[in-house]
Structure 1
């Protein structure tokens, strides 16, 4: 694991150094995933991870069908960094994996249509993923996406990339709204998160925009005794 992480960091640093030395300036295309494989002598997975991190951080932007480009200064200054749960867990020294429970197109009901600012019964994408810290459920993610803006959302392989990482790569966040509350939660959510009877749920509701367009609405459910805001995670006590 450490050797893979080191190769990923080397690719990322290669790109960052090239940008700092103005080898690639704002608006210019950087080497593609395939080109990075040859230039840095790494696997496609390693090159892809480096690019995805730079998309999430707002250093690069991806234009479908054209490639990856250095973000313009105006874009970078306005981007909000929405960290993926995968990156947060790994930074704490744990392993992350997720289980895809649902990913489909559906007709938006009245409440979701209102949140996404679309017409009732208009098609939207809906996904449900369960994220794990090592083998412990740490986040149940329910997400609705405006497919008029992100048409390929349901076509992605979310065993290789998290929804937030994908959305950040194609529609970088320029505005976000959060609402946090402690709830009891329904029986199904509690069962999925494997919660004790006396354990509360921390619900984070998040809406994200890209250049004035509302892209995504997510309900993120966390075990109250094992999750804290501020990108910190801890293991669940076994007693």
Structure 2
């Protein structure tokens, strides 16, 4: 039976758990492991690379591969679709475009996502409802230099996040989580009182060196985010 890289990962993890290779221990070389497992060196290499990516092993030039002294896990965050999140709760999803305008990027946004002065951006505000209750207010800015097709999209029927996820790739993202005190306007959208602390996500994405979008997502009171590591 052919040994796969999944098999090798499982064996390595089992040996680490059993202290055959304790924290800080150097692993045998890829050629030696390939001979032991009866597989190609490339198969061992893939298993090692994945375990490095997952924070179990570390590799250094000329020092080989060893078990990390303090194993870590790299969090991977998929951009969620709010429609799917709401529907999973059993509620009916409803989307409303509040306003849409193409304007020169304000100064604070130029600094936030590193775009030139007078660069055109699309500014959208949208509401997402669970049944009749406000669930999320989306305040989004799209860099039209990165996503020119967005200028001709009305976003009357589909939210910008869902449209971007399906249409535009990204290579890097940044998430900032905070509790912000609601202004009177934000509070009205989310059935809160002015000054209430609302869970807020700021999300920026880039395509290589070009910023794609910056969004502030305000959630109704009681919202909980769950993520797996």
TM over 0.5: yes
Deviations, residues 54-111 of structure 1 (Å, cap 9, x unaligned) = xxxxxxxxxxxxxxxxxxxxxxxxx963111011111222111111111120111110
CA distance in 2, matches of 1:151, 1:216: 12
Distance 1:166 1:196, change over 3 A: same
CA distance in 1, matches of 2:187, 2:134: 11
Give the match for residue 82 of structure 2.
85
> What pairs with 1:98-109 in structure 2 (closer than 5 Å)?
98-109=95-106
Give the match for residue 176 of structure 1.
173
8 A contact 1:101–1:130 mirrored in 2: yes
Give the match for residue 210 of structure 1.
207
Higher relative contact order (CA 8 A, sep 6+): 1
User: Alignment RMSD, CA only?
Assistant: 2.0
Give the match's secondary structure for 1:161.
Answer: coil
Give the match's secondary structure for 1:111.
Answer: helix
Scaled by the length of structure 2, the TM-score of the pair is: 0.61
Query: How much does 1:123 deviate?
Result: 1.0
8 A contact 2:86–2:93 mirrored in 1: yes
CA distance in 2, matches of 1:80, 1:183: 22
CA distance in 1, matches of 2:191, 2:106: 28
Q: Which runs of 5+ in 2 are unaligned?
A: 1-75
Give the match for residue 230 of structure 1.
226
CA distance in 1, matches of 2:194, 2:214: 28
Moved over 3 A (4+): 196-199
CA distance in 2, matches of 1:178, 1:126: 19
CA distance in 1, matches of 2:113, 2:122: 11
Give the match for residue 133 of structure 2.
136
> What pairs with 1:1-239 in structure 2 (closer than 5 Å)?
81-196=78-193, 199-225=196-222, 227-230=223-226
Query: How much does 1:198 deviate?
Result: 7.4
Who wins on radius of gyration, i.e. which is larger? 2
